[in-house]
Chain A
Amino acid sequence: MNLLSKPELLEFRAEVRGFLSENLPAELSDRASCHAHLSREDIVAWHKILYRRGWSAPSWPKEFGGPGWSGAQRYIFEEECAAADAPVLSPFGITMVGPVIYTFGTPAQKQAFLPKIVSMDHVWCQGFSEPGSGSDLASLSTRAVSDGDDYVVNGTKIWTSEAHYSDWIFCLVRTDQGAKPQSGITFLLIDLRTPGISVRPIISIDGGHSLNQVFFEDVRVPKGNRIGEENRGWTYAKFLLSYERILTADAARSKRRLARLKEIASSFATGWLLTEAPCVAKRIAALEIEVMALESLTIDTLLKDERGEALAVEPSILKLRGSEVLQRILELTCDVLGPDALAYEHRVLPKGNAAFPTYAAGRVEEYLYRRAATIYGGSSEVQHNIIAKAIFG
């Protein structure tokens, strides 16, 4: 990448790489590379390692505890973390609610929440989707009724990743029943230890547990935990969603996935070397080109964002194609694994049995879990609608 080859950026890359090689524990990167579902302990442990270096909120400005990096630096950091198999930072605090708080929050909210997001003393989760409101998010029906200094919240949120070990949840709730769906929504920050909240695990098709359903029964939330104005929550949510999408192209991680795929393809000791099999080599090449394009557009978009220019269709394009490319890489990985894609519980395998190669560990799990990539964070259909709206109005 030419844009990333300025001397100061090369120096920065070397610094990040050096830090990772000295500070990322091997057992953490092993688990991160083989498991779709990490424990709270692992996620917090890695976050705190970065926190001590001042790097735990890569996208944040310095005044709120971020490193104040440029877009190019942010991408380089992502890329190096991905290449080292560092755990993915939990996005709900750093990427989602944090920027909402420092953009729209009160001084008291900034003071109360931002330091604990940066330090990961608070683990956050996101309460947007509901059983009846997925793609049609604005139809959500969890209600918050004003009662003195509090809101009283009733309803349920679903697909809440990490809720079972989170401390706080940010929620969209309905505060005005009569208004147009989008104009009756309010953005609340809710302490998950408040009485009346319960969490039900949802086991996903890969057999793992990240997803949950969260129930609210007469949950009292202080009005001081409301972001911005009542009934304007949709605006803040839209800000959050567009912010979220720049790096959800996941180009850096897909690059790592592709590298892993090539390692697998070249590791067959006998017979057909798969990278030499033209049909497989061609499929890998096609995906590599896609990842290059995603990487290029990601960097362009980060730079555009940094210059303060409005982002139009870029975030949606990155989310749309990024999730598809990710899924295609994982599909091809299963294809290349061939019969090795059958065994699933690699965690309990007898070590040293060549019939269960370690390179297969976690790959099928990742394929299954990432079928959600075109569903979460605004499904592909929603992204198509957003782009179409930008084109046709």
Chain B
Amino acid sequence: MFQELSEERRILSASIDSWLRANYPLPAARQHGPANWKQFAELGWLALAIPSSCSGLGGSAVDLALLAEAFGRYLVDEPYLATAVLCAGLIEACGSDEQRTTWLAEIAAGDRTWAFGLYEPGTQYRYGEPAVIASEAAGRTILSGTKSAVEGAAIADRIIILASDPKGTRGLFIVDRWGEGVRVDTVGSVDGRQISAVVLEGAPVLARLGAAADKISSIDDVLARALVFLCAQAVGAMQATYDQTVDYLQTRKQFSQRLSDFQVLRHRVVDMRVEIELCRSLVAAAARAVEANSNHLIAATSAKAMVGKAGRFVAQQAIQLHGGMGMTDELCVGHYLKRLMAIDATLGNADFHERRFVMLGQVAQ
């Protein structure tokens, strides 16, 4: 994905690819379990973005993008983003020294999984005014309200909840996923994973992340990194479905010609390629911006907007070019479409990020 990579990063990228190629089966033949999570820990992937001072490898958004690109290519299902990017990022950005040391080490070792409850029903992608309330009752803090579209909550041990405290300060509160007052309603997601609603009914707070100060700008920073992760995953998925389409057109014949001989089909493939090359470059630029912490919000938002549209376009073309075969569950093209749709719908779709781009001031008034 990147024009220039250090030797170290090239090795990282190649090792991720070769492990997934050997060990991660295609969707049709897939079984899931905690075994993979432990493997991810042993491979160091769970520690990738955690600072070296907290048992991590100290990787940046660029390293995460290399991992994500491979996750997209091999359609990795594990809720890595929730634990290792979002929650690890929030703990690093907002947690006390003790919280960071303990919890990040647990994440790196694969001992605990986390989820982040950000959105709420009926408010689309806006999270600035949480209706979930943290209040004091009998000497303890409890949470009430509902979080929606929570990835990874079904298997999480801990959930970080964005809520307003009695003073109206937006804070991050940790609950025990299996504790009293916490109900997790889980359904399948469009891309064959799981998505949950977290219903809090006087759920006791285990801890507050960091001091009682407003956390929105820290959340925005962590989201920027998560957006890069999602975008890089999309680039991997787009490239893979593009490669399969090119192969298919060179194999299949109709009217006694290879499909790749039909100009109209060739041009469709060209349009896919154009989108992918533009996305790859923009996402790489966003990863570097987030790594350098320079114009990172706008960089992440523009990449997510572009990738959301391009991903759908590329995957839809792949299905059309496969004809009826593209509609079957047996082939991967449909799975790439669904993953790309889910990526678009996660943490703000293209529509949302185009509007956010305007709000971030990149369009002249």
Q: A268-B122, A342-B342 are in contact. Are A353 and B197 (CB under 8 A)?
A: yes
On chain B, the residues within 8 Å of A344 by CB distance are 187-190
Nearest CB in chain B to that of A371: its residue: B319
Let me know if A119 is at the binding interface, CB within 8 A: no
Distance of A277 Cα from B335 Cα, bound (Å): 32
- Which of A133, A339, A349 has a CB less than 8 Å from the CB of B185? A349
On chain B, the residues within 8 Å of A202 by CB distance are 328-330
Give, as a whole number of angstroms, the nearest-CB distance from A344 to chain B: 5
Nearest CB in chain A to that of B254: its residue: A136
On chain A, the residues within 8 Å of B330 by CB distance are 202-203
Distance of A159 Cα from B327 Cα, bound (Å): 10
Let me know if B123 is at the binding interface, CB within 8 A: yes
Distance of A342 Cα from B185 Cα, bound (Å): 14
Q: A279-B351, A355-B148 are in contact. Are A342 and B329 (CB under 8 A)?
A: no
Distance of A129 Cα from B325 Cα, bound (Å): 12
On chain A, the residues within 8 Å of B199 by CB distance are 353, 355
Instruction: Judge whether B190 and A375 touch: CB under 8 Å.
Output: no
Give, as a whole number of angstroms, the nearest-CB distance from A325 to chain B: 15
Instruction: Judge whether B324 and A159 touch: CB under 8 Å.
Output: yes
Instruction: Judge whether A343 and B329 touch: CB under 8 Å.
Output: no
Interface string of B320-340 (1 = CB under 8 A from A): 100110111110001101100
Most buried by B among A129, A205, A376: A205
Instruction: Judge whether B190 and A372 touch: CB under 8 Å.
Output: no
- Which of A268, A339, A354 has a CB less than 8 Å from the CB of B149? A339
- Which of A211, A269, A335 has a CB less than 8 Å from the CB of B350? A335
Flag the segment in A224-232, A244-252, A377-385 that touches B.
A377-385
Give, as a whole number of angstroms, the nearest-CB distance from A255 to chain B: 23
On chain A, the residues within 8 Å of B148 by CB distance are 339-340, 354-356
Distance of A205 Cα from B83 Cα, bound (Å): 29
Instruction: Judge whether B328 and A339 touch: CB under 8 Å.
Output: no
Distance of A205 Cα from B340 Cα, bound (Å): 13
Instruction: Judge whether A272 and B122 touch: CB under 8 Å.
Output: no
Interface string of B261-285 (1 = CB under 8 A from A): 0101100000000000000000000
Give, as a whole number of angstroms, the nearest-CB distance from B338 to chain A: 7
Instruction: Judge whether B323 and A384 touch: CB under 8 Å.
Output: no
Let me know if A65 is at the binding interface, CB within 8 A: no
On chain A, the residues within 8 Å of B262 by CB distance are 381
Distance of A32 Cα from B341 Cα, bound (Å): 24
Distance of A66 Cα from B187 Cα, bound (Å): 45
Instruction: Judge whether A342 and B327 touch: CB under 8 Å.
Output: no
Instruction: Judge whether A134 and B190 touch: CB under 8 Å.
Output: no
Q: A135-B254, A270-B123 are in contact. Are A205 and B345 (CB under 8 A)?
A: no
On chain A, the residues within 8 Å of B355 by CB distance are 277, 279
Nearest CB in chain B to that of A268: its residue: B122
Give, as a whole number of angstroms, the nearest-CB distance from B122 to chain A: 5
How many chain-B residues does the 8 Å CB contact rule pick out?
Answer: 49
How many chain-A residues does the 8 Å CB contact rule pick out?
Answer: 55
Let me know if A288 is at the binding interface, CB within 8 A: no
Let me know if B126 is at the binding interface, CB within 8 A: yes
Let me know if B164 is at the binding interface, CB within 8 A: no
Give, as a whole number of angstroms, the nearest-CB distance from B226 to chain A: 14
Instruction: Judge whether B122 and A379 touch: CB under 8 Å.
Output: no
On chain B, the residues within 8 Å of A350 by CB distance are 185
Q: A269-B122, A368-B338 are in contact. Are A354 and B195 (CB under 8 A)?
A: no
Interface string of B193-220 (1 = CB under 8 A from A): 0010101000000000000000000000
Interface string of A321-360 (1 = CB under 8 A from B): 0000001000100110111111111101110011111000
Let me know if B248 is at the binding interface, CB within 8 A: no
Let me know if A158 is at the binding interface, CB within 8 A: yes
Let me know if A24 is at the binding interface, CB within 8 A: no
- Selected A-B contacts with CB under 8 Å, 24 pairs: A133-B254, A202-B328, A204-B334, A205-B326, A205-B329, A205-B334, A269-B122, A279-B351, A280-B351, A334-B341, A339-B124, A339-B345, A340-B149, A341-B341, A341-B345, A341-B349, A342-B345, A343-B149, A343-B190, A353-B199, A355-B147, A355-B197, A356-B197, A364-B341
A: residues with CB less than 8 A from B are 129, 133-136, 139, 158-159, 202-205, 207, 211, 268-272, 277, 279-280, 327, 331, 334-335, 337-346, 348-350, 353-357, 364, 368, 371-372, 374-376, 379-381, 384
